[in-house]
Amino acid sequence: MISATDWVPIGVGEMEDAALAAVRSGGSALVVAGPGTGKTELLGQRAAYLFQTGTCIYPRRILAISFKRDAATNLRDRVGRRCGPALARRLDSMTFDAFAKQLLDRFWRALPEHVALAGGYGIAPFLKSAYLADLQRSTADGLDRPGHPAHWAKTLIGKQPEPSGIHGVTMDAFYKSVQSLCLHPLDISSYGAFLQLVQLRTALVSPAPMLGFAMIGRLAQAIVNANPEVRRAICATYGHVFLDEFQDTTSVQYGLIESIFKGSAAKLTAVGDDKQRIMGWAGARMDAFAAFEADFLATPGARARISLTRNYRSNQRIVAILNTLKAHLAPAEPDFVAVRPAPDLPDEKICAVMVADDAGAEAEAIAASVAGVIAEGVDPRSIGLLVRQKSVDWEPRIKARFDAHGLAFRNEDRDVGGASIQDLMTESYSQIVIDFLDLLTRRHGGLLWNVAMGHAAAVANLTLDDEEAVERELALRLDEFHRAHKIGATEQMTAGAIAAKIAAIEAFLGLERLRGVAPQYGTGDLFVRIRAATSAFLAECAAQPGSWQDLLLRFRGVGQTPLMTITKSKGLEYDLVMLLGLNDSEWWSFDKDPVEGHSTFFVAASRARERLMMTRCGYDRSAKIREIFDLLDKAGVRQIRV
């Protein structure tokens, strides 16, 4: 144990004073962490501080809620590196959806009677407009038919909905209405929320209920609100809570956190940046920061809002551009401070808008730019191709020119049998399988031997430093497995051979133990889907000729430049960011919500470490996003013909 006064940050040269204050905070804190300011590092150091100083007293745990699965995995790994695997096991790092689903799956029998669930359920797919029309028609027709879900819902709320109001709900209003819904105590404040209640009742009385994640969150909140003992049990487990990417918190998510932890002894650390709030379409609250200040910072020991300003990611020129964008989004906030100078290059080589005559010329400019920086020695994985809308639409637009330059790119958003490629790369199950396959291709393990030992120990819930005899026994088992299943130089890479190796790995580690390596695998079908997606993507990668090592390199994306939406790029960074299609056709929704549009552009620009290049077709309109071009002009960013 280390005293709080003697504790120092681990594995980093320095932290700015504001970050260190947040790490050492004795109460709840709201940290405004702009791009590149090290929010994941801050949370990792705070976890280390809480564990190593005994501030988070054993057996209490830390709950870390992230917006994306890769962010949850990154934080879990960071804490493991900062304070070791034994202490890191007391961190439960997961997405909000996984947390809410875990609560529902564990406590579903405690649901209030009017929303009681019979048992199992599935995850509902994204609904289409035709479904809403059917729901509206059925609801209006069933209002006065006893036994119909609409009649049940009408009776429950004690009001007579009008058919015209039911039919007047748009798709957008229907999706967002779950954010204002409360199931216990019941609060139905709109026709959209009434339709959500009818949809829920329809699911609950069906033989195979299907629930969306937002409704799962509302059901979890109903359990907590109706059962004080459940709330007490959760608060007794978690003494500290981390909320990452807090700017994208929805009302459903905030409502559950508030129901559990408001007024408790738990200390909450919310980290985010309202300048990067780009999930308004998914229900992100505009007032999440103000609500947190009112609900959690009025307690003794809580810190006022803390702002981080040191940007460790981007060079000085890009930081200057970000400050121009920030001045529009948050003029009262302090400017970012660059830690690194800009390279000795003309400004247009660091940041520019490349204007092409047509789509073909734009694709050539993109491919040529990527080829140029790769020739300079930049790793293709350190280049990010970002798009505003669907990345799948850009694949055919740029493929021919990339092929002509001998380049490879990969759409990280593409679904490969139950998960996107990007998600698959950070899933614990996939990483373990790939690392073990990699070990089996090697005559001698080397560093991979240590990686495999770490995986085997984690799966078996062992700490290698505890007992030498335990480590020796595990090493002998791994050596026996390696000798029995090693992949020879002439062994054929077939679908059957891949399936056999995966089966051997699962048998060695134990399938149920593999399910236990990540909290999100404990309930529902996520583990099944990740297993299936891993096998499917390996089979796809094996369709190309090459060795087993080539297979693993393709799976990991080595040598392939990632293509993804701006939304999917959050939390990532690249030496070169290429923002494709800076035109009205890609940014068609900008004028509907200019604030979110500016935030989306800010997110894209702030992914860049060394260079930020944008492309547009000169013939396409750009009137809707004139404000963005005005800000770029103000920042001195030139438009150049290509």
CB burial of 70-104 (b: ≥16 within 10 Å; e: otherwise) equals bbbbbbbbbbbebbbbebbebbbbbbbbbbbbbbb
**Is-cis flag, bond preceding 185, omega within 30?**
yes
Two tokens, residue 308: 């981080």
39 is in an annotated binding site: yes
Collapsed DSSP state (helix, strand, coil) of residue 61: strand
Q: How many CB atoms lie within 10 A of CB 225?
A: 19
DSSP codes, 373-424: HHHTT--GGGEEEEESS-HHHHHHHHHHHHHHTT-EEEETT-BSSSSBHHHH
* Six-digit token string for 627: 């404000």
Q: Is 34 annotated as a binding-site member?
A: yes
Is 562 flagged in the annotation as binding? no
Structure tokens belonging to residue 483:
């000798």
| 36 marked as binding residue | yes
33 is known to lie in a ligand binding site: yes
Q: Flag whether 40 is marked binding.
A: yes
What is the token pair recorded at 320? Answer: 């200057």
Give the separation between CA 491 and CA 441, rounded to whole angstroms.
10
> Residue 300 gets which letter from DSSP?
T
Q: Which two structure tokens, joined as six digits, stand for 286?
A: 């505009």
The half-sphere exposure of 517 on its side-chain side, counting CA atoms within 13 A, is 26
How far is 109 from 514, CA to CA, in rounded Å?
27
Whether residue 299 is annotated as binding a ligand: the answer is no
CA atoms within 13 A on the CB side of 474: 24
In this structure, are residues 46 and 242 in contact, taking their beta carbons and an 8 Å threshold? yes
Report the alpha-carbon distance of residue 590 to residue 2 in Å, rounded.
Answer: 51
- Give the residue numbers of the binding site: 33-40
Per the annotation, where are the binding residues for ATP? 33-40
